């Protein structure tokens, strides 16, 4: 009896391990399928938008960029996403900050409440802007991104990547710079006031 009981326990443990392993495998298969679909969409979009003419060299470059984008898409939450927004008279409903002149990427810094971007729901504060209607804005000046967004008609396709920590670091750096500038301005104003108090006659003579 004891041997039959122990054999039964071993059998149940094997079944449990098999069931857990099978569930884990099924979950991994589903995750891989979803990820591959995302990667394929990113690859297809990047390849189609970058390949403008039939030049073999340009097509090779497009394929390389699309491959990099698809590879980045497999890195989890920071994968590139394609977001399409309608272009209306009220604008797109978001603000951008950063750019080459500020030695930083271009980011979505604010989603305007009630605006197009918020109603659409595909864009997030903290998204890095990678391209606008197939034109890359990585390493570009702030004004270039703004011009591309303004020039879009009917709708705009954005490739973005969610990296909020970098935006937070960038905003903290900008805030330090603004604080330093305010202090300099205050110090300069105080120096001017002190000089005026020390030399009141020079100002009167100048006015006369």
Can you give the residue ranges of every domain in the chain? 25-73, 80-165
Global pTM exceeds 0.85:
no
| Better pLDDT: 71 or 150 | 150
Instruction: Give CA–CA dist 32/13, Å, rounded.
Output: 28
Mean pLDDT of the chain: 73
Q: What is the mean pLDDT of residues 87-93?
A: 90
Residue 9 has pLDDT above 90, yes or no: no
pLDDT for residue 172: 75
The hierarchical CATH code for the domain 80-165 is 2.30.42.10
Label residue 181 by pLDDT band (50, 70, 90): confident
Instruction: Give CA–CA dist 168/77, Å, rounded.
Output: 17
pLDDT for residue 175: 77
């Amino acid at each position: 009896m004891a041997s039959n009981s122990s054999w039964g326990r071993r059998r149940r443990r094997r079944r449990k391990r098999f069931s857990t392993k099978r569930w884990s495998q099924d979950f991994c298969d589903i995750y891989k399928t979803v990820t591959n679909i995302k990667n394929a969409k990113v690859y297809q979009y990047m390849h189609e938008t970058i390949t403008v003419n039939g030049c073999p060299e340009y097509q090779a470059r497009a394929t390389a960029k699309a491959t990099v984008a698809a590879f980045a898409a497999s890195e989890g939450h920071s994968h590139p996403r394609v977001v399409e927004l309608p272009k209306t008279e009220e604008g797109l409903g978001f603000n951008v900050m950063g750019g080459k002149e500020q030695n930083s990427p271009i980011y979505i810094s604010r989603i305007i409440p009630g605006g197009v971007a918020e109603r659409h729901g595909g864009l997030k504060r903290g998204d890095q802007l990678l391209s606008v209607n197939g034109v890359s804005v990585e390493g570009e000046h702030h004004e270039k991104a703004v011009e591309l967004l303004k020039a879009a008609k009917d709708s705009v396709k954005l490739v973005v990547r969610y990296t909020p920590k970098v935006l937070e670091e960038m905003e903290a750096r900008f805030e330090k710079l603004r604080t330093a500038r305010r202090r300099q301005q205050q110090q300069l104003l105080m120096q001017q006031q002190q000089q005026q108090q020390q030399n009141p006659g020079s100002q009167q003579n100048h006015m006369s």
